[in-house]
Chain A
Amino acid sequence: MSTSLNAWSDALSGFSPAGLPLGLLIIAAIPLVFIALYALTYGVYGERKISAFMQDRLGPMEVGKWGILQTLADILKLLQKEDIVNKEADKFLFVIGPGVLFVGAFLAFAVLPFGPAFIGADLNVGLFYAIGIVALEVVGILAAGWGSNNKWALYGAIRSVAQIVSYEIPAAIAILCGAMMAGTLGMQQIILQQQGEYGFLHYFLFQNPIAWLPFLIYFISSLAETNRAPFDIPEAESELVAGYFTEYTGMKFAVIFLAEYGSMFMVSAIISIVFLGGWASPLPNIGALALNDWTSGPLWGAFWIVMKGFFFIFIQMWLRWTLPRLRVDQLMHLCWKVLTPFAFVAFVLTAVWEIYVK
């Protein structure tokens, strides 16, 4: 298993016909194509359908069978729309805002392993990098909000950034618990330690009696970091129109949407890597039924990590259409007085467990 680790991405990075590093470009393009495809299919269409079923509606039904082609029609519409930059806007910041935002969401995909054979860059600080690079997204949101020169946009941006910066703290401490269990920050190394013949029993969530606490804390914080409900006051439509992207139209709006779906998958992938084994198969070997061996391998790994990511995205959508949104003070209360102390408790208990019990 470990001999073929990163085999595909290593082969791709060596692929340079006529001295051009074409393989490196392909490695960078794969997550980009993945984000676009998944945001189109599962992201937009799936979210509309899931929300419709939860509210006892049908959702999009007109374009194609069950409205499958609705998202394509929407994209065509967005492409044709006029690209409006309002007169009073700060043109430069308004234009680079969505770009910086998307780059921030996309950079973390460099260290997300898509299966045992493919990872953009197997850094030894991969996990640290993935939770640190979100900072760029924050700057993109501020650029978009300030550049719009609109009070709703600015309020939305400031709320969003205050929320992301605050919730980074419980999220980082919760992730640190997972890093302590693994003893490394490299993504592939973390997953390798959760792989074994008993399938899901090797996952860190089931290896440690306290692991459910950082797992829950990280999941709640990740909702806030991606501005998803119940933490979506940055784009609360009843008070702020649409938050920091109020003024955006056409493809710039589409880019902001792609960034949101990109970071949704990113946090879902991180939580499944740290606590639920990433690309490791959840099926155990039962005697002669070697389910784990049959469902392991490069392609199966890609399947498992994408499915785990999609599962958490489904929970995010489920919560969005179930829970009401929190007020600003409730939001900050939850972060600083509930999640952060419990994250410290989880941190200490995990350390005690790792040192004295295990």
Chain B
Amino acid sequence: MTSTTYTVIFYLFAAITVFSAAFVVFSRNVIYSAFSLLFTFFGVAALYVFLSADFIAVTQIVVYVGGILVLLLFGVMFTNRIMMTDLKTDVLNIVPGILILVATIGGLGYIFLNRADWFVTSERLQGSVVERIGFETMSRYVLPFEMASILLLLALIGAAFLARFDKPGKSEQ
């Protein structure tokens, strides 16, 4: 494929990501927002593929589509009368909103133009990155990795504790 094809595909995915994300925010139907999030996550995964980060792209799909989106949809579907509440998508706090918007765009733009140290290469990354990710996780980044796993374990135990119902007879004693 030529580089024009790549550019066209890139802008296609970028457009999908941006427009579906806008739909998530502006839609008045919470179910449609949740389903629109699917296209946002897939668009972001496609952008990762363009950066030769295919492992992260698949992880993005596994974690966000398989985990978070399904959890969100479950939450929405199990919530009673969620379709009857009016979602507010009006503009409410104009002045603080604009201030935060300008600050965010200004900060990002400043970093993008002045501070960032972009790693530019004309060649695409070749070969498998999976082994390198494994080695780095188990050597240089082993402490953050273990800390994240302990955090997840705590969340798991907490969830199991909250979810289990009391044994009958225990409360009577």
Contacts and interface: CB of A to CB of B under 8 A. Distances in A.
Interface string A155-175: 000100100010010000000
Contact of A154 (B54, B77, B129, B130): B77
Contacts of B65: 135-136, 138-139
A143 interface: yes
Nearest to A140: B38
B16 interface: no
B35 A93 contact: yes
When A and B form their complex, which 7 residue pairs have the shortest distance between CB atoms, in order from nearest? A135-B66, A124-B128, A132-B62, A135-B65, A129-B58, A132-B58, A128-B58
B66 A138 contact: yes
A186 interface: yes
Contacts of B59: 132
A90 B31 contact: yes
A185 interface: yes
Contact of B77 (A124, A134, A135, A142): A142
Interface string A77-104: 0000000000000101100000010000
B77 A158 contact: yes
Contacts of A142: 70, 73, 77
A123 interface: yes
8 contacts: A135-B65, A136-B38, A139-B38, A139-B70, A142-B73, A146-B77, A161-B74, A185-B130
A161 B69 CA distance: 12
B55 to A, nearest CB: 5
Contact of B128 (A90, A92, A161, A184): A184
Contact of A133 (B5, B38, B61, B73): B61
Given A146-B77, A154-B77, A124 B31 contact: no
Contacts of A138: 65-66, 70
A125 B70 contact: no
B61 A165 contact: no
Nearest to A24: B1
Interface string B60-101: 011001100110011001100000000000000000000000
Contacts of B77: 142, 146, 154, 158
Residue from A124, A133, A161 with most neighbouring chain B CB atoms (10 Å): A124
B144 interface: no
A139 B55 contact: no
Interface in B99-131: 127-130
A324 interface: no
Interface in B4-43: 5, 31-32, 35, 38
Interface of B: 1, 5, 31-32, 35, 38, 54-55, 58-59, 61-62, 65-66, 69-70, 73-74, 77-78, 127-130
Nearest to A90: B31
A186 B35 contact: no
Interface string A1-37: 0000000000000000000010000000000000000
Contacts of B78: 158
A124 B130 contact: yes
B73 to A, nearest CB: 5
Given A135-B65, A165-B70, 13 more contacts: A21-B1, A21-B5, A124-B54, A124-B128, A125-B128, A129-B58, A135-B61, A135-B62, A138-B66, A138-B70, A146-B77, A158-B77, A186-B128
Contacts of A124: 54, 127-130
A277 to B, nearest CB: 21
A1 to B, nearest CB: 21
B66 A134 contact: yes
Nearest to B129: A124
A14 to B, nearest CB: 10
A59 B1 CA distance: 50
Contacts of A92: 32
B133 to A, nearest CB: 10
Contact of B54 (A93, A125, A139, A161): A125
Nearest to B2: A19
Contact of B61 (A21, A123, A132, A186): A132
A21 B127 CA distance: 24
Residue from A100, A123, A142, A158 with most neighbouring chain B CB atoms (10 Å): A142
Contacts of A123: 54
